[in-house]
């Protein structure tokens, strides 16, 4: 196993030119506002930057790097079947900006729970749901380069019970202001190529129906209600690829909310679609960014 995970999607999903990438990320961030900050966790998309880079900036703009020493990245598995969660076997994650150190001690701590396995290097490098967040993390944490570490977590097809178990486990880390969570998810994948074509004509055109469907999910996520989000998914089967990482976050928030002294608030800061579907042969993917804040009271 190589100690370094290559930036295998650089040059195709995003620029592999350091200066070009740095300027692009900076431009997107400059156009986003600080509307719900400082974030302790964000939800942000993981498609090619041409489609979702600008949307993702509205999540990363809420980050204040000052206290952050560790960043957990929870992304869905697109290529391998997992019934639980898996951790990287690498020591570094490469980005065109600079390499990110993996917290090996935290990996050992999580592995000791018996609830995690290790990814192969091929699985690690094939998966884009984790990699697409690395340049943004490197950018917003540039002032802390070398002073923070990451914990990439590949999330499998979890049952609601397992989402609850992992949520309760991660709640202990979410409570610590030195930890930060990135939840990787796109929203509705609509069209023949995704085998999903829900259309409520009462909402208007197809793209408006898709947005209404997504915003129903977003409203439930903002309410921080894990069972309600789970029931929504069962009812509509919306193709939210990061539904399990989101489920873990919601259960972490719920567990933390049961402890006195924590006030939690999640707000969506941006919504976008790759294109506007107007006929049944079209297709699109939706993107959304959100920020979770935690206020602790003595």
Residues 57-108 have pLDDT tens digits of: 999 999 999 999 999 999 999 988 898 999 999 999 999 999 999 999 999 9
Tokens of 231: 């029931």
Residue 281 falls inside a structural domain: yes
The answer to whether the beta carbons of residues 142 and 149 sit under 8 Å apart is no
Q: What is the pTM of this model?
A: 0.96
Domain tally, the chain: 1
Residue 235 falls inside a structural domain: no
Please report, for residues 32, 74, 95, 114, 224, the alpha-carbon distance to residue 130 in angstroms, rounded to integers and kept in the order given: 22, 7, 12, 22, 23
189 SS3 class: strand
The domain of 29 spans 4-186+240-296
Residue 102 falls inside a structural domain: yes
Residue 220 falls inside a structural domain: no
Residue 163 falls inside a structural domain: yes
Domain containing 8 — which CATH number?
3.40.830.10
The answer to whether the beta carbons of residues 201 and 271 sit under 8 Å apart is no
pLDDT at residue 52 above 80? yes
Residue 13 falls inside a structural domain: yes
Average pLDDT rounded to a whole number, residues 245-267: 91
Residue 89 CA from chain centroid, whole number: 20
The percentage of the chain sitting over the pLDDT mark of 70, rounded to a whole number, equals 98
For the stretch 116-141, pLDDT in tens is 999 999 999 999 999 999 999 999 99
Residue 209 falls inside a structural domain: no
């Amino acid at each position: 196993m190589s100690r370094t995970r290559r930036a295998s999607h650089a040059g195709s999903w995003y620029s592999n030119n350091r200066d070009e990438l740095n300027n692009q990320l900076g431009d997107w961030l400059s156009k986003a506002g600080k509307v719900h900050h400082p974030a302790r966790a964000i939800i942000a998309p993981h498609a090619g930057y041409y489609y979702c880079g600008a949307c993702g900036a509205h999540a990363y703009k809420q980050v204040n790097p000052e206290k952050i020493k560790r960043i957990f990245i929870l992304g869905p598995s697109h290529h391998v079947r997992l019934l639980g969660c898996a951790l990287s076997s690498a020591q570094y994650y490469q980005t065109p900006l600079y390499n990110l150190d993996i917290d090996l001690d935290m990996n050992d701590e999580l592995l000791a729970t018996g609830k995690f396995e290790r990814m192969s290097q091929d699985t690690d490098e094939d998966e884009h749901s984790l990699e697409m967040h690395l340049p943004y993390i490197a950018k917003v944490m540039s002032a802390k380069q070398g002073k923070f570490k990451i914990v990439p977590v590949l999330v499998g097809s979890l049952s609601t019970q397992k989402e609850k178990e992992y949520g309760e486990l991660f709640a202990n880390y979410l409570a610590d202001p030195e930890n930060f969570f990135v939840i990787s998810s796109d929203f509705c994948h609509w069209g023949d190529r995704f085998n999903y074509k829900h259309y409520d004509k009462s909402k208007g055109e197809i793209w408006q129906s898709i947005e209404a469907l997504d915003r129903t999910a977003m409203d439930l996520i903002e309410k921080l209600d894990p069972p309600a989000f789970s029931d929504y998914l069962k009812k509509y089967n919306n193709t939210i690829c990061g539904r399990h990482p989101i489920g873990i976050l919601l259960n972490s928030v719920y567990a933390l909310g049961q402890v006195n002294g924590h006030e939690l608030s999640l707000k969506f800061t941006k919504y976008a679609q790759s294109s506007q579907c107007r006929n049944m042969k079209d297709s699109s993917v939706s993107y959304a960014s959100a920020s979770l804040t935690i206020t602790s009271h003595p």
